[in-house]
Amino acid sequence: MAIFRNSSVMRTQVAIVGAGPAGLLLSHLLWLDGIDSVILENRSRDYVERRVRAGVCEDPTVKLLRDVGLAERLDREGLPHHGIVLRFDGEDHRIALTDLTGRTITVYGQQEIVKDLIAARLKAGAQIHFEVSDVEVHDVTGDRPRVTYKDSAGAVQEIQADVIAGCDGFHGVSRPSIPDSELTVYDHVYPFAWLGVLVKAPPANDELIYANHERGFALHSMRTPEVTRLYLQVDPSDSLDQWSDARIWDELHARFAIDGDFSLHEGPILERLLSPMRSFVVEPMRYGRLFLAGDSAHIVPPTGAKGMNLAVHDVLVLSRAFKELLQSGRTDLAESYSDTCLRRVWRAEHFSYFMTSMLHRAHDADPFQHRLQLSQLRYTASSTAAATSLAENYVGLPFP
């Protein structure tokens, strides 16, 4: 790693790499406990606040945001949902989340949570440095880890900290800073991708629809009462150029077809993206005084709506570990951080795998596999026990 000289040096207790929901929420939780932090982000504030990502908040995520004073706009603008719909065999089969578990999910975009967090952090005087570059972490196996970077003006800076939180996502610098020999990597790539579109049109249904169709999976979701989020299962080798607006709408209408009255609301496509489907986990989530959280440590396929919610759980556990370590010198929560988080991560990985394999149609699937899918769907829709298991995992297991 490069060693910078004549740099400007600042001191903090926690250096946080990444201003996504994980890094920002961690900084907020630490601030509530009287712990200082500095956040580094390589993108601009405008980019971070506009970056459209997940939209389903688990019940424990919403409760935590309320507990820490971050849910005023969520409670006003979020869309509580009491069920989801499994669409197959030409019919809808509703999974009554609230009736089965007593809890709900809330649709509220990740970028909206990020806006709320940035506003709250800046109001409290937090240091968030946007548009930084050349971020590197140093000396994480000692008791004085450092982060070096170039600020938005190109000047070299250094942060000296007690601990470093790597919240910079799958493509960030934190995880690659750990020697390969210190990590065990679990990586599973699915044989399909998602084509997602954001549409300026009201949702056609009040709840999410997960459709299993012979042409492939489709998902009907929403962001607001005026904006719909729609997804299509596509081949991973596809490009966005292959999918015209007309082709997208033709495929959506075909996959959401039902024996009854249902019609998608068409409108201008505001955004489109193509996302591969994968599961990825590294163990452990800690190396010395560098702690990984969120997508820097694990990726789940979006079918189970778990990615952002796992990041929230990670930083809740991490904030408690840092509080003990930095305020009382106790190390037990820091030492158990990885194991505590990974128990929830692997539960979410399995649930996401279950939902993905039950709903998607592999291009090379034989009729036997398809009949197994239909059997699982019919059992889930007709068995109270099976439906409760799905609902319990979907709304989110309680945080510790």
Q: What is the 3-state secondary structure (H, E, C) of 361-378?
A: CCCCCCHHHHHHHHHHHH
Catalytic, out of 108, 190, 287, 394? 394
Catalytic, out of 81, 298, 323, 360? 81
- Based on the residue annotation, tell me whether 353 is a catalytic residue of this protein: no
Say how far apart CA 33 and CA 326 lie, in whole Å: 11
- Based on the residue annotation, tell me whether 302 is a catalytic residue of this protein: yes
Report which of 252, 139, 145, 235 is spatially closest to residue 193, judged by C-alpha positions.
235
Say how far apart CA 197 and CA 219 lie, in whole Å: 11
- Based on the residue annotation, tell me whether 210 is a catalytic residue of this protein: yes
Say how far apart CA 400 and CA 316 lie, in whole Å: 9
Catalytic, out of 149, 210, 231, 337? 210
CA atoms within 13 Å, Cβ hemisphere of 28: 27
Report which of 17, 39, 47, 51 is spatially closest to residue 122, judged by C-alpha positions.
39
Predicted confidence (pLDDT) per residue in 219-270, tens digit: 999 988 999 999 999 999 999 999 999 999 999 999 999 988 899 999 999 9
- Strand pairing category for 14-17 and 37-40: parallel
| Residue-wise DSSP of 118-172 | HHHHHHTT-EEE-S-EEEEEE-TTSSS-EEEEE-TTS-EEEEE-SEEEE-S-TTS
Assigned token pair, 312: 């929230």
Say how far apart CA 196 and CA 234 lie, in whole Å: 10
Q: pLDDT category, 4, cuts 50, 70, 90?
A: very low
Question: Which residues share a beta bridge with 294?
Answer: none
Whole-number pLDDT of residue 366: 82
Predicted confidence (pLDDT) per residue in 176-195, tens digit: 999 999 999 999 999 999 99
Q: Please count the helices (runs of H) and the strands (runs of E) in the chain.
A: 11, 21
Residue in the structure block whose two tokens are 């840092």: 322
pLDDT at position 21 over 80:
yes
Catalytic, out of 220, 306, 313, 360? 306
Distances (CA, A) of 118 to 24, 128, 157, 332: 7, 8, 22, 31
Task: Walk me through the domains of the chain, giving residue ranges and CATH numbers.
Answer: 8-79+108-186+279-355 (3.50.50.60), 190-277+365-395 (3.30.9.10)
pLDDT at position 5 over 60:
no
Are residues 297 and 175 in contact, defined by beta-carbon separation less than 8 angstroms? yes
Say how far apart CA 284 and CA 175 lie, in whole Å: 11
Q: What percentage of the chain reaches a pLDDT higher than 70?
A: 98
Predicted confidence (pLDDT) per residue in 95-150, tens digit: 999 999 999 999 999 999 999 999 999 999 999 999 999 999 999 999 999 999 99
- Based on the residue annotation, tell me whether 306 is a catalytic residue of this protein: yes
Whole-number pLDDT of residue 390: 98
* Residue 125 amino acid letter: G
Catalytic, out of 298, 302, 313, 323? 302
Whole-number pLDDT of residue 7: 58
- Based on the residue annotation, tell me whether 149 is a catalytic residue of this protein: no
Q: What percentage of the chain reaches a pLDDT higher than 90?
A: 92
Report which of 37, 46, 187, 42 is spatially closest to residue 121, judged by C-alpha positions.
37
